[in-house]
Structure 1
Amino acid sequence: MAQWQEVQNLANAYLEQIHELYAGAALPMAVRQCLAAWIEDQNWRQAAEPLSSHARMLFHSLLVLLWERLGSLGLGNEDFMLRHNLRKAHRDLQAKFEECPETFANLVANLLREERRILRLGQAGGQGGAAPAPSPSPRNDREQQIQRRLAELHTALQEAERAFRHLEDMQDAFDFCFKVHYVPGEDRTNDPQYAQQIQALQAKLQILDRQRREVLAQIQQLLGRSETLQDFVLQELEAWRDRQQRACMGAPEDTNLRPLETWFTELGQGLFQLLRLLRALGELRLKVTYERDPLKAEPPLLEKRLKELLSYLIQRAFVVEQQPTMPNAFKRPLVLRTATKFSARARLLLRLHDRNHPMETSIHIDRDPPKIKGFRRFNILTSSSKTLLAGDSPQEGLVCDFQYLTLKEQKDSRAGKGSKGSGEGPVVVTEELHLITFTLAYAYCGLELELETSTLPFVIISNNSQLSSAWASILWFNMLSPDPKPQFQFFSAPPAAPWPLLAQVLSWQFQSVAERGLAREHLLMLAEKLFGSKPSPESTLSWTKFSKDGAAGFSFWAWLDGILGLLQEHLKQLWKDGLILGFVSRKQEKKLLKGKRTGTFLIRFSESILGGVTCTWVEHPESGPPAFRAVVPYTAAELVSLALPDIIRDYQLLVEENIPENPLQFLHPNIPRDEAFGPYYSKREEGNLMEQKKYLNRRLIRVSI
């Protein structure tokens, strides 16, 4: 479904944001509406690049299409207002952007990006805040179009090659006849045979001229096809970047680069083939030329346009395949620790390079650091340059794998005795964003370029106690920043997070750690904990309330991350299999257990202890209301000695006459305890009383009085 069509299906709250977006925009919504499909098919971000000739072409194409749309409208009263609005839009756009089409391209690119952001929020909100279950996505229409257009481009290139060879043969024949029959300097105007020969040569020249123009027209058409195809490929690249960014936050996304690598390489091969064809046309002109020769003016312009296209494609083909990651980072990239090894990998998606030209890749950290007091500077230890090499097989492309890198903080020479050094300043260490840039000297077929790509922003810590806060910063930035490049002042006034988007990101954390995300009821409990009531799609949470404030002495994120750590180390399988209810308020807990028989229990996370899990069960006395009892929460300190299933099996309560009894009989809603947890019990080792000089087996159990 087209983006504009999806936008129009949003709920009213998000449609209001779309209206606000276009209320102050120089592009009227009426133009966006009537040219929706064409606008979405163009690569406005590329056109906005400095020195690009693409912006002017797109701007004038839009004006032409707008005028054609005006001409297609009827003269009836029902179209009167639309005609007026479109005519005014045509006049205003032409007056405002005629001299600066790049500004217009940038405007449209930003509008489309904001539409996508609002669309993501609206779609997340429409699911009630629950994260969608991961499922393999089918091949989309754009991928199918890319495959089809690549095949069409290949066929058209073959036809152009055949037309060129035919032109070459035709020119050789003309050149031979010209040298045989035309003798310059002789006056043979009275020779009828010579006049016929000159006339025949003139006819051959006209045919040759027509063939040259046909080949140039084919190349012109191929360039247009290539530009459209490149737009589709680059849109897929942007979609991959979005998926990679979400995967870094824990989302179950496919970040395989193989399809993109194939498309970039096939398109690059076609463009370089076209470049060689243009250069061969130039060589034909050196052999035969004439007045108003089309090979004199057109090929240089076409070659300039083709090189722009190639340069932009190759620049975008250089990507960061693996973001900076420490080993054993528990699926938390983009948090690095000083003096601890980490790795990052760049890839050139275009499998074309000059083997006689070694392609050196260099890495730099914070090439353009912000002028912020206290911003820390670092050096990358070990080698900071490597040669781009082919992967394990020819199909794996060109990769540059930087492993075993470490960071060391630069000492501020101005920090004298008693000074706090470079760490002094308003920037919190876990909110300080850094960037690694890869540069590559590329050469192929006479085209030499300096390529550059950058990682996502990352945080540098000095000890493990900062890891949780740093990860919160990474989540917040990648969730809310419209630009993946670091905004070093981002955390000086961080934006609030819409609850639907935050709910999805929180669910990803549980999905990545324990292979089961958060259900709708989990998210509702968390929302009530944060907002005090049921959330709405417009509910937002501030950064401070998420990561800093907390009535219990710790922040919401510290509490949630403690639970994630407990799941990772001790409860992963139980959570994955749905035996832990997890997030249940005390009110909801009583509601769930009230109507159940005595001994029915549920497992939930503690709200008062970091990284705690407890069991609550119901008892129905002979008279009076039901009683609800809970175990003192277990933390990692206890679970490292005794697994939770064994605790549940062996838990005992001293009842009348001090007879121990296990009150945990049925897992909510009504599953017998041993049926639910039997597969997870540890095997008992029975002691043999007949054997002498051996200790009896002893087990640690909890007994409540």
Structure 2
Amino acid sequence: MAQWQEVQGLANPYLEQVHQLYASAALPMAVRQCLAAWIEDQDWRQAAEPLSSHARVLFHSLLALLSDRLGSPGLGDEDFMLKHNLRKARRDLQAEFEERPEQLANLVDNLLQDERRILRLGQAVGQGGGTVAPSTPPVSDRQQQIQQRLAEFRSALQEVKHTFRHLEEHQDSFDFFYKLHYQPGEDRTNDPHYAQQVQALQAKLQMLDRQRREVLAQLQQLLGRSETLRDFLQQELEAWQERQQRSCLGAPADTSLRPLEAWFTELGQGLFQLLQLLQALEDLRQKVTYKRDPLKAETPLLEQRLRELLSYLLRSAFVVEQQPCMASAGRRPLVLRTGSKFSARARLLVRLHDRSHRMEAKIHIDRDPPKIKGFRKFNILTSSSKTLLAGDNPQEGLVCDFQYLTLKEQKDSRTGKGSKGTSEGPLVVTEELHLITFTLAYAYHGLELELETSTLPFVIISNNNQLSSAWASILWLNMLSSDPRKEQQFFSKPPAAPWPLLAEVLSWQFQSVAERGLSQQHLLMLGKKLFGSKPSPESTLAWHKFSKEGSSVFSFWAWLDAILGLLQEHLKQLWKAGLILGFVSRKQEQRLLRSCRAGTFLIRFSESVLGGVTCTWVEHPEGGPPVFQAVDPYTAADLAHLALPDIIRDYQMLAEENVPENPLRFLYPGTARDEAFGPYYSRRQEGDLLEQQKYLKQRLIHVSSR
């Protein structure tokens, strides 16, 4: 099914996310709907690369298709509004992207990625039962509190502006009255009206003093509200960072920054307006002041407090939106290979900046490296700085998007060579953690700051055969560390993992690879394999038992990761449909099949062959106990030539009389083989018997002998 069709079938909460996605995008939903199939068939990521001519080709193709659609007789009078929207969209897209079609390619590529993210979330929630625990948090009370407090903040800000305008008017009146009736140096003691004028002037001064104190009190209260709101936003940001961390491990989590960006921006706008208000108060004080003027003592303190609040807000608002990830890594970020391209992106959630100021973003790798013997050093070969231009589309926000980055290890000055993937220190390469730091020179309304944020720690490898071990390190670190940015020496003494937490993370791996997590029965078998018996909630597993120790051939993680690779490449649909029982011990499979009719089979993963899957079936000979048969495990090399459903359909067992038969009749617990696997059989091309054939038709089948 096409992606756009699947999106339209989502539940309302996820459809609302799609509507929000396109509400703030330069590509209207009407265009997405009209050209859905064509849009999904194009390679927008390749078109978005610098100096790519493909972007302009796609841009003009899109405009031409819209023109054809507008002239199509299929759009009748009842589609008048759709015609209007498409015509406007075509005009707007041409005006916006005529000179920069690669930005349109990047926009569409990001929209398609966001759609897939929302689709995965919606489908994961719809399927339920596969995951150990729900990972997408419900709408929280804190989010409602933020909305409510922002509304109160807006109202209070309007009140203080209103009070300030009254103060301005009264000060102008006082100033005029003072200059009109009070002439210093003149002797007006005989003037009968002078005493009344002085008394009136004194009354106006007292009123001016009260209004100044009222404005200052409102500002004090508003700053208090702002600090509380800032704390709520900080908590929500920390929750988002936790979701992002879990998402990096494969958990189905919503990592959209749009709500936070809107909240941070609104609070930032309000605080900068307060800063301007304080500066206006200082202007009033310069024009009129007096003894015990409250502005003289309190305004500097309020401004200092406000600037500290703004600085804190802006520094918190600079976040890593996309963790370092290679384009070929799929669902496994934070593992980088030297010489391979990767990307990372930071975002400033407060969408306010001075367009006359050159806002430069830079990236640094291992800016403050840990003091570990043999710790490798790397250079970023491509550009490590980027200027955010004033003409950037405001809908895209303030983004520092670094793409097509590559790393190269620094040569050892003593040998002139790099370490070639080995570490001289106590840590192996796949346990050595590195960081990228973003810095941003920010300026707005006289406030200048250098903002800084860091990625999660990542592992740098030089060979693909290190990828599995590196991913194990990323899992262990982010599973057990709440603030991994401060733990580059984490693997000097890695802590043990509680079994309930490890079980959840293992389930996420299957959820992200094959869209179905692990059941409690799966986890029970894995727990017994790790601990030797049924684990308890208090059971913990040491790092070396997870990633290094195991059978004489491979570790537990190497065995499990090979199964994940097999699922991703060859068995995804079967696993997702629940046709593979998967993790079943030999003893358990016999218990399950013993009471089933002859020919009942199940599919499980091999425990002795790395990345292997096998079928076990039961036979009931006359006058004897049940007999259990299992075929040699199929590996990725086998399944690359013949898909598992076709193997099951055509599998033959030679009896004593050399008569072939298929012993696989019913999928456990009792579903007919063709009913279960029929939708996944490859289509056979049957030849015409009357047509003269040069060769006889042939097909591959698997045959076993008793």
TM range (shorter): 0.7 to 0.9
SS at match of 2:406: strand
Deviation at 1:510, TM superposition (A): 0.2
Distance 1:571 1:545, change over 3 A: same
Distance 1:389 1:586, change over 3 A: farther
Aligned AA (1:193):
H
Deviation at 1:310, TM superposition (A): 0.2
**Where does residue 271 of structure 2 map in the other structure?**
271
Please tell me whether the aligned partners of residues 421 and 429 of structure 2 are also in contact (alpha carbons under 8 angstroms): no
1:346 maps onto 2:340 in alignment: no
Please tell me whether the aligned partners of residues 617 and 629 of structure 2 are also in contact (alpha carbons under 8 angstroms): yes
Alignment of 1:251-400 (within 5 A): 251-389=251-389, 393-400=393-400
**Where does residue 131 of structure 1 map in the other structure?**
132
Aligned AA (2:305):
R
Please tell me whether the aligned partners of residues 129 and 503 of structure 1 are also in contact (alpha carbons under 8 angstroms): no
Q: Distance in 2 between matches of 1:419 and 1:593?
A: 53
Please tell me whether the aligned partners of residues 128 and 520 of structure 1 are also in contact (alpha carbons under 8 angstroms): no
Q: CA RMSD in A?
A: 1.9
Q: Distance in 2 between matches of 1:500 and 1:335?
A: 25
Q: Distance in 1 between matches of 2:284 and 2:432?
A: 59
Deviates more, 1:545-554 or 1:244-253: 545-554
**Where does residue 154 of structure 1 map in the other structure?**
154
**Where does residue 216 of structure 1 map in the other structure?**
216
Distance 1:648 1:690, change over 3 A: same
**Where does residue 225 of structure 1 map in the other structure?**
225
Deviation at 1:192, TM superposition (A): 3.9
Deviation at 1:693, TM superposition (A): 5.1
Aligned AA (2:432):
E
SS at match of 1:328: helix
Please tell me whether the aligned partners of residues 549 and 556 of structure 1 are also in contact (alpha carbons under 8 angstroms): yes
Alignment of 1:462-477 (within 5 A): 462-477=462-477
Deviation at 1:622, TM superposition (A): 1.1
Please tell me whether the aligned partners of residues 129 and 523 of structure 1 are also in contact (alpha carbons under 8 angstroms): no
Distance 1:392 1:308, change over 3 A: closer
Deviation at 1:240, TM superposition (A): 0.5
SS at match of 2:372: coil
Please tell me whether the aligned partners of residues 510 and 516 of structure 2 are also in contact (alpha carbons under 8 angstroms): yes
**Where does residue 78 of structure 1 map in the other structure?**
none
Aligned AA (2:480):
L
Q: Distance in 1 between matches of 2:532 and 2:677?
A: 35
Deviation at 1:390, TM superposition (A): 7.4
SS at match of 2:439: strand
Alignment of 1:391-540 (within 5 A): 393-415=393-415, 423-540=423-540
**Where does residue 639 of structure 1 map in the other structure?**
639
Deviation at 1:487, TM superposition (A): 1.9
Please tell me whether the aligned partners of residues 410 and 418 of structure 2 are also in contact (alpha carbons under 8 angstroms): no
Please tell me whether the aligned partners of residues 422 and 429 of structure 2 are also in contact (alpha carbons under 8 angstroms): no
- The size of the alignment, in residue pairs, is 578
SS at match of 1:617: strand
**Where does residue 579 of structure 1 map in the other structure?**
579
Please tell me whether the aligned partners of residues 129 and 499 of structure 1 are also in contact (alpha carbons under 8 angstroms): no
Deviation at 1:134, TM superposition (A): 5.5
Aligned AA (1:613):
V
Q: Distance in 2 between matches of 1:658 and 1:421?
A: 55
**Where does residue 603 of structure 1 map in the other structure?**
603
Distance 1:420 1:671, change over 3 A: closer
SS at match of 2:379: strand
Deviation at 1:328, TM superposition (A): 2.2
Q: Distance in 2 between matches of 1:422 and 1:700?
A: 44
Q: Distance in 2 between matches of 1:422 and 1:468?
A: 16
SS at match of 2:617: strand
Deviation at 1:392, TM superposition (A): 7.4
Deviation at 1:128, TM superposition (A): 13
1:200 maps onto 2:200 in alignment: yes
Deviates more, 1:503-512 or 1:479-488: 479-488
Partner deviation per Cα, 1:506-540 (whole Å, 9 max, x = no partner): 00000000000001100000000001111111100
Partner deviation per Cα, 1:96-131 (whole Å, 9 max, x = no partner): xxxxxxxxxxxxxxxxxxxxxxxxxxxxxxx99962
Q: Distance in 1 between matches of 2:393 and 2:362?
A: 23
Deviation at 1:683, TM superposition (A): 1.1
1:245 maps onto 2:245 in alignment: yes
Partner deviation per Cα, 1:547-584 (whole Å, 9 max, x = no partner): 00012410000000000000000000000000000001
Q: Which runs of 5+ in 1 are unaligned?
A: 1-126
Deviation at 1:482, TM superposition (A): 2.9
Deviation at 1:416, TM superposition (A): 6.6
Q: Distance in 1 between matches of 2:316 and 2:545?
A: 39
Distance 1:670 1:421, change over 3 A: closer
Deviation at 1:420, TM superposition (A): 8.6
Q: Distance in 1 between matches of 2:299 and 2:417?
A: 68
Please tell me whether the aligned partners of residues 566 and 636 of structure 2 are also in contact (alpha carbons under 8 angstroms): yes
Please tell me whether the aligned partners of residues 130 and 517 of structure 2 are also in contact (alpha carbons under 8 angstroms): no
1:541 maps onto 2:541 in alignment: yes
Distance 1:143 1:133, change over 3 A: closer
Q: Which runs of 5+ in 2 are unaligned?
A: 1-127
Please tell me whether the aligned partners of residues 131 and 508 of structure 2 are also in contact (alpha carbons under 8 angstroms): no
Q: Distance in 1 between matches of 2:356 and 2:178?
A: 42
Deviation at 1:391, TM superposition (A): 9.6
Deviation at 1:394, TM superposition (A): 2.3
Q: Distance in 2 between matches of 1:321 and 1:608?
A: 41
Aligned AA (1:132):
A
Q: Distance in 2 between matches of 1:631 and 1:420?
A: 42
SS at match of 1:579: coil
Q: Distance in 2 between matches of 1:419 and 1:220?
A: 59
Aligned AA (1:599):
G
Please tell me whether the aligned partners of residues 600 and 618 of structure 1 are also in contact (alpha carbons under 8 angstroms): yes
SS at match of 2:273: helix
SS at match of 2:572: helix
Aligned AA (1:273):
Q
**Where does residue 42 of structure 1 map in the other structure?**
none
Q: Distance in 1 between matches of 2:385 and 2:249?
A: 28
TM (norm. structure 2) is: 0.80
Deviation at 1:481, TM superposition (A): 1.5
Distance 1:614 1:377, change over 3 A: same
Q: Distance in 2 between matches of 1:499 and 1:603?
A: 26
SS at match of 1:324: strand
Aligned AA (1:604):
R
Q: Distance in 2 between matches of 1:550 and 1:502?
A: 17
Q: Distance in 2 between matches of 1:143 and 1:391?
A: 32
Deviation at 1:199, TM superposition (A): 1.1
Distance 1:389 1:599, change over 3 A: farther
Please tell me whether the aligned partners of residues 457 and 488 of structure 2 are also in contact (alpha carbons under 8 angstroms): no
TM (norm. structure 1) is: 0.80
Q: Distance in 1 between matches of 2:284 and 2:671?
A: 85
Partner deviation per Cα, 1:152-187 (whole Å, 9 max, x = no partner): 111111111111011001001011111111122234
**Where does residue 699 of structure 1 map in the other structure?**
699
Deviation at 1:422, TM superposition (A): 8.1
**Where does residue 64 of structure 1 map in the other structure?**
none
Aligned AA (1:530):
L
Distance 1:416 1:151, change over 3 A: closer
Deviation at 1:421, TM superposition (A): 10
Distance 1:417 1:251, change over 3 A: closer
Please tell me whether the aligned partners of residues 614 and 631 of structure 2 are also in contact (alpha carbons under 8 angstroms): yes
Distance 1:387 1:529, change over 3 A: same
Q: Distance in 2 between matches of 1:501 and 1:391?
A: 46
Q: Distance in 2 between matches of 1:202 and 1:412?
A: 80
Please tell me whether the aligned partners of residues 562 and 611 of structure 2 are also in contact (alpha carbons under 8 angstroms): yes
Q: Distance in 2 between matches of 1:133 and 1:394?
A: 35
Distance 1:205 1:416, change over 3 A: closer
Aligned AA (2:627):
A
Q: Distance in 2 between matches of 1:164 and 1:443?
A: 27
Please tell me whether the aligned partners of residues 421 and 462 of structure 2 are also in contact (alpha carbons under 8 angstroms): no
Please tell me whether the aligned partners of residues 129 and 500 of structure 1 are also in contact (alpha carbons under 8 angstroms): no
Aligned AA (2:448):
E
